Structure 1
Amino acid sequence: MRFAISNFPLLLIGLTCYSLATFAQTQDPLITSMRKADEARVAMGSVPPWMGVSQSGEPTGYTVELASLALKNMGAPALTPVLTAWEAMIPGLLARHFDLIGPGLVITEPRCRVVVFSAPMIAMHDALFVRSGNPSNLENLRQVTETPEIRLAVVTGSSQEAYVLKQGIAFERLVRVPDIEAGVAVVIGRRANAFVVGQFSISKPEQKGLEVVVDKSTPLSGIGAAFRKEDIRFRDAFDKQLDLLRTNGAWKNLIVKYEVPNWDMLTKLKRASHVVPSCE
């Protein structure tokens, strides 16, 4: 038994090296392009502590560290963050302004028609962020939809915007914002009664004067990295590295470091199709 345990890390190292060597030998076009440029250009938004860019220009956050580990094990160069508006990320990827989209977009069926996603790195339901005390007594998105006087903030181009429009909320009742920080500001400034976004998207909301109301009737959402469809082999190799990071404890260490919820769920969501079956 002692022999098996002592050699387990060596086995994992061997598997990682084998995976890297096998992938490198295929001369994948994307990693070849990254190595030639000596950088991996990654579209990123600002969602601290999950994703962001430091004042010195360094990419930071839980999903960034996790993606960096996977890419490093694949032999990719260091990440170069490209701060990008959420609604501009997929068009920018298809126009080759960057190599991939960092793990910040929700995996959805319409998005899967044009890009391929990695396994989820965050899993959550949508939630309403309201002022402390919940002055409008909101309980879920259905109530918001059915209450004409309620104004709802959404990030432009987000999965939440698409969802509430599909649920029938009037277009003119939406307050569109470019990012999460702006969504917080419009609620605190009383220009909207609530801001809908993923339940873990705002860190320590109580310190910002907000209260979170999780709507568990909304579909479970997964957030992953996104790649061009032509780079599906690269995505597959990336997912294999995530599998190894689950197994060797490195991913769990980041979960503990950043206090990420739902680890048990993330251990089961190993492909994009596990949250959206129609996705490749």
Structure 2
Amino acid sequence: MKAAILKGVAVLGMAALALGSIATSASAESLLEKADKGEPIRIGFANEIPFAYPADDGSPKGFVNVFTIAVLKKMGYENIEPVQTEWGGLIPGLNANRFDIVTGGMNILASRCENIAFSEPVATVGDGFIVAPGNPKGIGDYESVAKGGAVMVTGAGYSNIEAAKAAGVAESNIMQVPGPTEILAAVKSGRADAGAGTYFTMKQLADASSGAVEATDPNAMPESSFNWAGIGFRKADQDFLDKFNAAMKEYIGSDDMLEAVAEYGYGKGSLPGDKTSEWVCANR
């Protein structure tokens, strides 16, 4: 009887190993292989207006989503599935295979380049602030935040955290919240003196606040605070990324592309210029 039980356990063990092998094989399948089989390409993004955000029906909106979907279609891929998450979950979610591409409008930074691969830049992105009407603390750049001992609020995982610390802003004066809605709420309530994010996003918050806050002048920011946004991929999917970059090169800056993203405030001045992702990874 014991021998029969042991034999049964052995058979079950062999079956489990076989199933595990099948699962491992499936999970090891590359994005290019899955896409070429017609499986959905899952794009991950947070609620970051105007970069990437969900419409009321859950469909992907924002200029990075529109741009990415257009490039994927040029590559012959139209089975695209949106996945919304919080900003701080984008890189972990990508590497955990919860989605295949990050379209959130993420700045290319050396610290992020260690964990994921980026497309060539899709936009030049300057930082900006929202402040109380009249800008009572005279905030124009990160140094003014530091010198004035002001409290700055920004999103968890945002590049503004590194920029503020580099300018001397004390960590205790940097409030981290989930995203733009909470940044606006913190400044409106007086819990923070300035909200920091990309100028794209801060201007949109100010314009929609009915005068409760105002956006500071982006020209007051130093050149070193400018960043370049890219689209994120798993490092294991370099073959797909190479194909994406080739298709993107033909599309970026075209009349069709600029017309498609115009409603989100993206114009010719937002184009990334001649900067490459390699350069940005090394210099930001």
TM-score range, shorter-chain basis? 0.7 to 0.9
For residues 158-204 of structure 1, what are the alpha-carbon distances to aligned partners after superposition, in whole Å with 9 as ceiling and x for unaligned? 11112212333222212111011110111111110001111112326
- Equivalent in the alignment of 1:140: 141
Q: How far, CA to CA, are the matches of 2:85 and 2:42 in structure 1?
A: 12
* SS of the residue 1:182 aligns to: helix
Distance 1:125 1:259, change over 3 A: closer
What is the rounded CA distance, in whole Å, between the counterparts of 2:283 and 2:163 in structure 1?
17
> 1:264: how far off?
4.5
Alignment check: 8 A CA contact 2:117 2:232 kept: yes
User: Is the CA contact 1:59–1:79 (under 8 Å) kept in the aligned structure 2?
Assistant: no
Q: Which has the larger radius of gyration?
A: 2
Give deviations 1:182-239, integer Å, cap 9, x for gaps: 1011111111000111111232623313222224214321111100111122112112
Q: Does 2:65 correspond to 1:45?
A: no
CA distance in 2, matches of 1:190, 1:165: 22
Give the match for residue 89 of structure 2.
88
Quick one: structure 1 residues 49 and 125, their matched pair in 2 at CA, closer, same or farther if it must change by over 3 Å? closer
Distance 1:96 1:268, change over 3 A: same
Query: Judging changes above 3 Å, is the alpha-carbon distance between structure 1 residues 45 and 235 closer, same or farther for their aligned structure 2 residues?
Result: same
Residues 1:220 and 2:223 aligned together = no
Q: Equivalent residue for 1:9?
A: none
Name 1:25's counterpart in structure 2.
none
* Alignment check: 8 A CA contact 1:71 1:238 kept: yes
| Aligned CA distance change for structure 1 residues 182 and 131 (closer, same or farther; 3 Å) | same
Q: Is the 8 A contact 1:220 1:275 kept in 2?
A: no
Residue from 243, 247, 253 that aligns with 2:249: 243
Asked if the contact 2:138–2:144 (Cα under 8 Å) also holds between the matched residues in 1, the reply is no
Kept after mapping to 2: 8 A contact 1:103/1:223: no
User: 5+ residue gaps in structure 1?
Assistant: 1-27
Distance (whole Å) between structure 1 residues aligned to residue 164 and residue 253 of structure 2: 37
SS at match of 2:130: strand
SS state at 2:106 partner? strand
Alignment partner, residue 268 of structure 1: 273
The answer to whether the 8 Å contact 2:101/2:232 transfers is: yes
Q: Note if contact 2:55-2:61 (Cα within 8 Å) is conserved in structure 1.
A: yes
CA distance 1:124–1:267, shift in 2 (3 Å): closer
Q: Secondary structure at the match of 1:201?
A: helix
Contact 2:153–2:195 (8 Å) recurs in 1: yes
For the pair 1:253 / 2:259, whether they are aligned, the reply is yes
Task: Write the letter of the residue equivalent to 1:188.
Answer: K
Q: Which structure 2 residues correspond to residues 127-206 of structure 1 after superposition, within 5 A?
A: 127-148=128-149, 150-202=150-202, 203=204, 205-206=206-207
1:253 is paired with a residue of what secondary structure?
A: helix
Identical-pair percentage: 24
Distance 2:189 2:175 in 1: 12
Deviations 1:116-158, CA, capped at 9 Å, x for gaps: 111222212211211221122212210111222x111011111
Is the Cα–Cα contact under 8 Å of residues 82 and 98 in structure 1 kept in the other structure? yes
Q: Is the CA contact 2:122–2:230 (under 8 Å) kept in the aligned structure 1?
A: yes
Which whole-Å CA distance do the structure 1 matches of 2:262 and 2:43 have between them?
25
Q: Distance in 2 between matches of 1:113 and 1:41?
A: 22
- 1:255 and 1:118 map into 2 onto residues whose CA distance is 18
Question: Which residue does 2:127 correspond to in 1?
Answer: 126
User: Aligned partners of 1:84 and 1:184: how far apart in 2?
Assistant: 19
- Which residue of 2 is the match for residue 15 of structure 1? none
Q: Provide the residue aligned with 1:211 in structure 2.
A: 214
What do the CA deviations read for 1:11-60 (whole angstroms, capped 9, x no partner)? xxxxxxxxxxxxxxxxx931322354731111111122331111212111
Tell me the distance in 2 between the aligned counterparts of 1:36 and 1:119. 26
Q: Which amino acid aligns with 2:145?
A: V
